[in-house]
Amino acid sequence: MDNRLIIFDTTLRDGEQSPGASMTKDEKIRIARQLERLRVDVIEAGFAASSPGDFDAIRAIAETVKGSTVCSLARVSEKDIRAAGEAIRPAARGRIHTFIATSPIHMEKKLRMNPDQVVEAAVNGVRMALQYTDDVEFSAEDAIRSEMDFLVRVFGEVIKAGAKTINVPDTVGYSVPGVIGDWFRQLISKTPGADRVVWSAHCHNDLGMAVANSLSAVLNGARQVECTINGLGERAGNASLEEIVMAVKVRQDVFGCDTNIDTGQIVATSRLVSQITGYPVQPNKAVVGANAFAHESGIHQDGVLKHRETYEIMRAQDVGWSANKISLGKLSGRNAFKQRLVDLGIEFDSEQELNEAFSRFKDLADRKSEIFDEDLQALVSGDSVEQGQERYRFLSLSQRSETGERPQARVVFSVQGQEVAAEAQGNGPVDATVNAIESRVSSGSELLLFSVNAITTGTQSQGEVTMRLSKAGRIVNGVGADPDIVVASAKAYLNALNKLESRAEKLNPQLV
Q: Which residues bind Zn ion (CB under 5 A)?
A: 14
In angstroms, rounded to a whole number, what is the distance separating the alpha carbons of residues 502 and 24?
9
Asked if 145 and 172 touch (Cβ cutoff 8 Å), the reply is yes
Q: How far is the CB of 203 from Zn ion (least distance, A)?
A: 8
First-to-last alpha carbon distance for the chain, in angstroms, is 39
How far is it, in rounded angstroms, from Cα 139 to Cα 10?
Answer: 14
Query: How far apart are alpha carbons 68 and 7 in whole angstroms?
Result: 10
Per the CB < 8 A criterion, the answer to whether 349 and 317 are in contact is no
Using CB under 6 A as the binding rule, the residues of this chain from 84 to 143 that contact ligand KIV are: 99, 139, 141
Contacts of 468 (CB under 8 A, 6+ apart): 19, 20, 278, 447, 448, 449, 450, 475, 476, 477, 478, 496
- Three-point CA angle 441, 443, 447, nearest 5°: 120
Q: Which is nearer to ligand KIV, 159 or 455 (CB)?
A: 159
For ligand KIV, which is the closer residue by CB, 184 or 337?
184
Residue 320 interacts with, from Zn ion, ligand KIV, none (CB under 5-8 Å by kind): none
Between 80 and 464, name the residue whose CB sits nearer to ligand KIV.
80
Q: Per CB under 6 A, does 280 bind ligand KIV?
A: no
| CA separation for the pair 167, 443 (Å, rounded) | 43
Binds 99: which of ligand KIV, Zn ion, none (CB < 5-8 Å by kind): ligand KIV
Q: Identify which of residues 8 and 372 has a Cβ nearer to ligand KIV in the complex.
A: 8
CB of 211 to Zn ion, least distance (A): 14
Residues 360-399 that bind ligand KIV (CB under 6 A): none
CB of 171 to Zn ion, least distance (A): 6
Report the C-alpha dihedral over residues 279, 275, 32, 261, rounded to 10 degrees.
-80
Any idea what DSSP says for residue 226? Answer: E
Q: Which is nearer to ligand KIV, 139 or 146 (CB)?
A: 139
| From the list ligand KIV, Zn ion, none, partner contacted by residue 153 (C-beta under 5 to 8 A by kind) | none
Question: What is the bridge-based pairing of β-strands 136-141 and 94-101?
Answer: parallel
Taking the complex as a whole, the smallest distance from the CB of residue 142 to Zn ion amounts, in Å, to 10
| Rounded CA separation 482/465 (Å) | 9
Contact 264, 320 (CB under 8 A): yes
Identify the residue among 102, 133, 171, 200 touching ligand KIV (CB under 6 A).
Answer: 171
CB of 174 to ligand KIV, least distance (A): 11
139 binds, among Zn ion, ligand KIV, none (CB under 5 to 8 A by kind): ligand KIV
Binding mask 174-213 toward ligand KIV (x if CB under 6 A, else -) reads ----------------------------x-x---------
Helix axes 115-130, 148-161, angle to 10 degrees: 30
Q: At 207, which amino acid appears?
A: L
What's the closest the beta carbon of residue 238 comes to Zn ion, in angstroms? Answer: 6
- Check binding of 498 to ligand KIV (CB under 6 A): no
Q: In angstroms, what is the minimal distance from the CB of 404 to Zn ion?
A: 51
CB within 8 Å of 95: residues ≥ 6 apart = 42, 69, 70, 71, 72, 88, 133, 135, 136, 137, 165
C-beta of 14 vs 27, nearer to Zn ion:
14
Residue number with CB closer to ligand KIV (141 or 157): 141
The sign of the torsion formed by the CA atoms of 452, 456, 459, 462 equals negative
Least spacing, CB of residue 33 vs ligand KIV, in Å = 23
Which of 394, 250, 235 has its CA nearest to residue 312? Answer: 250
Q: How many residues bind ligand KIV (CB under 6 A)?
A: 9
Query: Residue 95: which of Zn ion, ligand KIV, none does it interact with, CB under 5 to 8 A by kind?
Result: none
Q: Are 197 and 159 in contact (CB under 8 A)?
A: yes
Query: Residues 6, 11, 12, 14: which binds ligand KIV (CB under 6 A)?
Result: 14
The residue with its CB nearest to Zn ion is 14
Query: Footprint of ligand KIV on this chain (CB under 6 A)?
Result: 14, 73, 99, 139, 141, 169, 171, 202, 204
